[in-house]
Amino acid sequence: MKLELDRSAFIAIDVQNDFCPGGALAVKDGADIIPLVNKLSAFFKYSIATQDWHPQTHVSFASSHLGANAYSSIIINGQENVVWPDHCVQGSRGADFHPSLRMEPYRLVIRKGTRPELDSYSAFYENDGKTATGLDGYLKGLGINTVVLAGLAFDYCVFFSARDAARLGYKTMVVEDASKPVGSPPGSVEEAVKDMQSRAVAIIKSGDILS
């Protein structure tokens, strides 16, 4: 696959300790994607990383809601949301990027989910759908028209980032073998794929780019 590298960006989503084996919200085999993510970030002229960066009482934590169990869905601010184990707490080891992730290629780190009352799956917007992270303005300033996404997790933060990228007018690709899913609730992966395909998001393999 040929890309116009001067107008393309790679976005690595949340490759952090808490989402890898041994972490508070570990994605199965999450660390296995890191060698491919490293190859992709080095391939692109413009690479950006995102980092979940939550305060200790974050709204997405089950512990912030009396009687809520992790991985269950509850109503928050009138919307249904999944709540999670405490994870990626600001300044904690769990919030750090995985030590195997090579940081040299990244020009920008977007920290998201920093407000106690608002979660942020997407690299572009908080979960209210209107509070911008600043990434869109950064990319538009560089003249970027294509984004390639990978990371953790395929059916949550990668998916929501791809959805917003497509809505903002970027040609959007998700590297399936450089991403891993949570897979909860059942069907989340299939629903994410169906939704992305309906938005003309291309689901590709790393070899489509690196070869």
Measured over the CA atoms of residue 29, residue 31, residue 33 and residue 36, the dihedral's sign is negative
Q: Are 178 and 203 in contact (CB under 8 A)?
A: no
Which residue of the set 18, 88, 119, 157 is catalytic? 157
CA–CA separation, 148 and 202 (whole Å)? 9
52 is catalytic: no
157 is catalytic: yes
CA–CA separation, 160 and 81 (whole Å)? 14
6 is catalytic: no
The set of residues, in sequence order, having a beta carbon less than 8 Å from that of 86 and lying 6+ positions away, is 24, 56, 58, 61, 63
Which residue of the set 112, 119, 136, 164 is catalytic? 112
11: which 2 tokens? 């976005």
> Catalytic amino acids?
14, 112, 157
